[in-house]
């Protein structure tokens, strides 16, 4: 039986693919659990509409990410830290500190999307903020005493 997968199914295929599966597997597992739809002309039209909708949503998310990237590129994250005699910081500056700065600047993103090595000294550093698979922004981080 030919079906259109609505979800990724291990050992069968990815969402959106038209695959052949055994009749019993389709009737008893895939179709009742809404993991697949019959491969009919209506099902194929539904699949095309879903793909177009996903593309439009992806384009919209990319545009929003580009706008946010421009905002981030215009910012400078200035952080103060306590310093020892040799210019070494007590503790370190991490992505958590950068995340808090971005939240204060009205930019809400997941902390895991910020990439930066822990900073243990004074100076200027760069943090990479991944907003979308195709869009990333560099944030200037300045650590002062």
Query: Total domain count for the chain?
Result: 2
Token pair belonging to 103: 């939240």
For residue 122, what is the DSSP state?
S
State percent of the chain over pLDDT 70: 100
Domain limits for position 45: 2-60
56 & 71 share domain: no
Domain-ending residue, one of 29, 44, 60? 60
**In the prediction, which pLDDT does 101 show?**
94
72 & 7 share domain: no
Q: What is the pLDDT of residues 77-90, one digit of tens each?
A: 999 989 888 878 88
Q: How confident is the model at residue 42 (pLDDT cuts 50, 70, 90)?
A: confident
**How far apart (Å, rounded) are the C-alpha atoms in residues 119 and 88?**
10
What is the CATH classification number for the domain harbouring 72?
3.10.430.100
**How far apart (Å, rounded) are the C-alpha atoms in residues 142 and 61?**
30
125 & 72 share domain: yes
- Count Cβ atoms within 10 A of the Cβ of residue 137 and give its class: 0-12 exposed, 13-18 middle, 19 or more buried: buried
41 & 86 share domain: no
**pLDDT surpassing 90 at residue 21:** yes
73 & 55 share domain: no
What is the CATH classification number for the domain harbouring 50?
3.40.5.10
**In the prediction, which pLDDT does 40 show?**
87
């Amino acid at each position: 039986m030919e079906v259109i997968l609505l979800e990724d199914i291990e050992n069968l295929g990815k969402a959106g693919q038209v695959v052949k599966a055994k009749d019993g597997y389709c009737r008893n597992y895939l179709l009742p659990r809404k993991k697949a739809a019959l491969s009919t002309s209506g099902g194929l039209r539904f699949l095309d509409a879903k793909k177009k909708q996903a593309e439009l949503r992806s384009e919209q998310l990319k545009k929003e990410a580009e706008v946010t990237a421009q905002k981030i590129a215009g910012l400078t994250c200035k952080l103060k830290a306590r310093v020892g005699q040799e210019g070494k910081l007590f503790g370190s500056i991490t992505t958590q500190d950068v995340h808090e700065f971005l939240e204060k600047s009205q930019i809400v993103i997941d902390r895991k999307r910020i990439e930066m090595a822990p900073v243990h000294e004074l100076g200027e550093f760069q943090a990479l903020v991944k907003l979308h698979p195709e869009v990333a922004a560099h944030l200037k981080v300045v650590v002062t005493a």
